Structure 1
């Protein structure tokens, strides 16, 4: 994937024709009003789409939403092994159901739930222009959040000047490097019952906070993740991350991750990274009171990443549930150059190994160690052989970065002082005092 892809958004509720792409490959994102339905990558010769294909896609997407959201058909769906949800009905049966379009209209109704009980926390480090774009999208929300907090993780506090351009933004300077430290500073500074996180390389959909508010109002879950779509696919590195590496996972069906998912994947290291991405997540404040804050050994600026998935692991291991709701949408700016992508994949793998060690130490789940020593090496070998015969040459460079990250992560097995710095399962009163300061 070396050429750019134009990203175009098609509302099937009003589309009666397809003008095609501006002159090249395209990733089409299909919507029904504000409800995201699916994506389709196409070469230039496959465009424009015919009206019959648009109608077929509408019926198929409507059927999938019906089987995932209609309570009378068994929704909400619960994630099982590998994160997939078992449909309550077959797709064929759903296609035969009546009033598919009427169902789409119901599911696509924009949330009217107030977002004034949501604290939005944005952590940033040395990316002023990107932060300005992110804040512009957050302040334009249909549901105005109760507070917006920017945590500046730079040494010299260089995000302060950007924040002064946005009224009512609360600025917090956390000079100690580390995304987990920055996020924890945001939690301590926040005052409301729901804490939502996004990143400075993200732009949020106008309905993001309203959909988060609706999800927590309708569902008795402790945490939420949402859909992460690419903002641009202008470079080969961005296209490769989105298509070959899977991006952040563009699943358009809601599902609940709970006890069943955790127990089915636990023997092999519970696959909590399937839950979503830290660029689009939210928690009830009670999660931090019950489980503690983000583990500051993990995340960018520390071990590499996976501070979000480790907290989800703690949540599921102690009986909590997390909802993936794709109606809460953000747009992520992927790394634009190959060196940046390689550094990212190395950091991801290093942080992943570190999180597996932490999860084993916290709960004694041997599946985490099995993943480090068995599953990941097997993945590397399989990827190497597949790439030799049918893959892109660029994949070998990414694979090398992942293996370097894995090797770097193994050091944490021997860092006994590091391993003893476990996040305690603190009492609710202790965290309540900490977050109230």
Structure 2
């Protein structure tokens, strides 16, 4: 997709009308409140005709009906081979007389009460973005038990923004580091489910209700949801979404359990596929079982992957993570190339640091294999492909990835860093009346 701007459009297939727009677009398809899938199209492919929309609805219905186990048994589980394929064929979906009724049944929006949910947002020097994020949380159809804003700036500059939202709680954590800020959020929050999002996202109105429904219906320890782009106005934003894959694009629910962990363990368990820290939640008991976020990792420290490293510990301990794309947030990607390259470098540096940490914690050699073999092979293959096929900017992004990998190798030799222990949850974090 070689264009510098895509309009992000949301199309409800229950209405079967895509409008008359012809600008390049990333179309997000819904059935009422249920996200079904996404498709990027250039102007000569638009607008979608009625027959195209009907076929898309059938394709997405086949995947949704299978994944959501309408009369077919247990929920799908992620496997090493990849995401499960729908058993309902396209032809069968097109011919199904009750297709609309079936989709209506699974698209019912959640109004589950969210009073047992603490929402934690960690922020640092992004006042305008934080204001939009908090506005979206104030508009949730199921009001969470509390919203805790952890200000990770030195001078507490998010306080003024938070004054616009008097029902939200403000906590200042001046020690830099996203993991440090998230741990402060865990320790100062009061409810049994702790949901995290970032200050550069806006939450769908049903976000907290869908989290509440998932934990009420599923016997799981952790949760992740769908992260969609808010805008794709620049070449850098398009590159992150289409070339780098954004934050994932799976629109069916998946369960990540011990089986997934064991199948991917020889190559460094692929916990980064579970979701993104911009849309995740945990039962409070998780932090008591496996510890808090590792403060060596994350933005402001090693770079990132503090979320996936926690999922690694949880799966290793027999826990279960559930991905439910009904819970949607919209992320504002980096809009300029320098910002994107810095982000990608930090992501790769943090990924390598997390792999070192996972090896040290569990002795899983697959983490070292990924650092020393799989990632260099990926770099080489990507270089050859980008050299001959593009897309524009890919070589620059690859250079940032390699720089991040090289920067991450230092953690193999930092023995003092490697000996630090993960902060453990304490009895105080489980209490309802923590002093603040």
Secondary structure of the structure 1 residue equivalent to 2:47? coil
Which residue matches 1:157?
156
Q: Which runs of 5+ in 1 are unaligned?
A: none
Name the structure 1 match of 2:208. Answer: 209
Check 1:389–1:197 CA distance in 2 against 1; reply closer, same or farther (3 A cut).
Answer: same
C-alpha distance in structure 1 between counterparts of 2:224 and 2:272, whole Å = 11
2:383 counterpart SS class: helix
Q: Which residue of 2 aligns with 1:189?
A: 188
After TM superposition, the structure 1 = structure 2 runs for residues 339-350 of structure 1, keeping only pairs within 5 Å, are: 339-350=338-349
Please state if 1:423 is matched with 2:431. no
- The more displaced of 347-356 and 41-50 is 41-50
The answer as to whether partners of 1:2 and 1:237 remain within 8 angstroms in 2 is: no
Residue in 2 that maps onto 1:11: 12
CA distance in 2, matches of 1:260, 1:403: 31
Distance 2:368 2:300 in 1: 24
Q: How does 1:33-432 map to 2 (within 5 A)?
A: 33-81=32-80, 83-85=82-84, 87=86, 97-423=96-422, 426=424, 429=427, 432=430
In the other structure, the counterpart of 1:20 is: 20
How far off is 1:85 after superposition?
2.9
- Following superposition, the deviation at residue 240 of structure 1 comes to 0.6
Superposition misfits of 4+ residues, deviation over 6 angstroms: none
Which has the larger displacement, 85-94 or 172-181? Answer: 85-94
Deviations 1:13-53 (A, max 9, x none): 123x33232x5211111111110011111111111111110
TM-score when normalising by structure 2: 0.96
Distance change in 2, residues 1:86/1:109 (3 Å): same
Structure-2 separation of matches of 1:362 and 1:435? 32
Root mean square deviation of aligned Cα: 1.7
CA distance in 1, matches of 2:164, 2:428: 36
Counterpart Cα distance in 1 of 2:51 and 2:87: 28
Give 1:337 shift.
0.2
Structure 2 counterpart SS, 1:18: coil
> Post-superposition shift, 1:95?
5.2
* Matched position secondary structure for 1:233: coil
Structure 1 residue 70 displacement after superposition: 2.2
Question: What is the number of residues matched between the two proteins?
Answer: 434
- Alpha-carbon distance change, 261 to 104 in structure 1, aligned in 2, over 3 angstroms: same
Deviations 1:44-80 (A, max 9, x none): 1111111110111111111111001024213410000
CA deviations on 1:343-379 (whole Å, 9 max, x unpaired) are 0000000000000000000011100000000000000
Q: Alpha carbons of 1:211 and 1:421: their partners in 2 closer, same or farther (altered >3 Å)?
A: same
Deviation at 1:390, TM superposition (A): 1.0
Distance in 2 (CA, whole Å) between partners of 1:416 and 1:209 is 41
Q: Deviations over 1:259-286 (max 9, x none)?
A: 1111110000000000000000000111
Task: Say if 2:136 and 2:203, in contact at 8 Å, map to a contact too.
Answer: yes
Inter-partner Cα distance in structure 2 for 1:373 and 1:70: 40
Does the 8 Å contact 2:190/2:432 carry over to 1? no
Q: How far apart, CA to CA, are the structure 2 residues paired with 1:67 and 1:20?
A: 32
Secondary structure class of the residue paired with 2:71: helix
